[in-house]
Chain A
């Protein structure tokens, strides 16, 4: 495979906000030769059916991902410590969401 060149443009991760004030959610990725073309491609790929009101783009190589090999060390220690979860309080009357 070493002779196979990637002829595609750089990849950008697309985050969309469905309505003002809500968190941006990862929608997928697009190719784009630069940020303007990537923005147009994101719009054309992910915003065709009223999906949202705002777009964030991040070059994929700017995303720092955790290493799957670190999963045990990173995530397992919190599994068996129920006292880390705020589930031992009585909900005050009248509070709908805490």
Chain B
């Protein structure tokens, strides 16, 4: 694989996570448990969409075919999306949303810390900006995990169920393939597999403070590195891409 092809896949992977998760968090708008939380979740959605925009703009530039970040977001087929399966999972109840956010934000906090040292100046600059937002998302998610886990009997039960249900999507975060190897050798991006130890020990700390138990490693879902997704991504894209597909180049 050429350097350019590998860099394109890497940037699509990095851009699609915040794009899809931002879309998911945006679905909470006007439906969150309280007004302040409605603002918090949609604030995070805006952080994520902003990050997706700059990364996909860079992906379009790397691709060099004259596409824009909007083309990549609104006119790309499902099989060419490379977000982790975790972020396309439905919002569920508030605990499901918090568990999903905890897993991904903890992962991103380690990934983007390494990405700040990237030899690719654009990715390094993006990482420096994103890490501040990621730290806040992680604080928000871990504070809520602790309060729900160590809260009432019902909140504890729901939080533990959410952790258990989403656990099988965490293995994929640390999958490392040829593209990651190639990018790591060029000093552009970290190897996901190397972040697992730190991630797991953070999960142990947070979950034990929350009086929750860490599931066994068990069966892990896989597929998104090759563009194979769960049934949910198609619906998200139908929602997100409908307008551009039905009325190409529509203007306000």
A residues whose Cβ falls under 8 Å from a Cβ of B = 8-9, 30-34, 36-37, 40-41, 44-45, 48
Contact, CB under 8 Å: B34 / A8: yes
**Chain B residues at the A interface, C-beta cutoff of 8 Å:** 34-37, 39-40, 43, 139-140, 143, 147
Given contact pairs A44-B43, A48-B43, A31 touches B143 in the complex (Cβ within 8 A): no
Majority SS at the chain B contact face? helix
**A40 cross-chain contacts in B, Cβ below 8 A:** 40, 139-140, 143
Q: Chain A residues near B43 (CB, 8 Å)? A: 44, 48
Tell me what chain A mostly uses at the interface: helix, strand, loop, or mixed: mixed
Residue of B nearest to A47 (CB): B43
Residues of B contacting A44 with CB < 8 Å? 36, 39-40, 43
Across the two chains, which residue of chain A brings its CB closest to B151? A33
A45→B36 contact, CB < 8 A: yes
A-B residue pair count with CB separations less than 8 angstroms = 28
User: Which residue of chain B has the shortest Cβ distance to A41 in the bound complex?
Assistant: B36
Indicate whether A30 sits within 8 Å of B147 (C-beta atoms), given known contacts A40-B139, A40-B140, A44-B43.
no
Residues of chain A contacted by B40 (CB below 8 angstroms): 40-41, 44
> Known contacts A34-B147, A41-B37; can you find 20 more A-B pairs with CB under 8 A?
A8-B34, A9-B34, A30-B36, A31-B35, A31-B36, A33-B147, A36-B143, A37-B143, A37-B147, A40-B40, A40-B139, A40-B140, A41-B36, A41-B39, A41-B40, A44-B36, A44-B39, A45-B36, A48-B39, A48-B43
Nearest chain A CB to B33 CB, angstrom units: 10
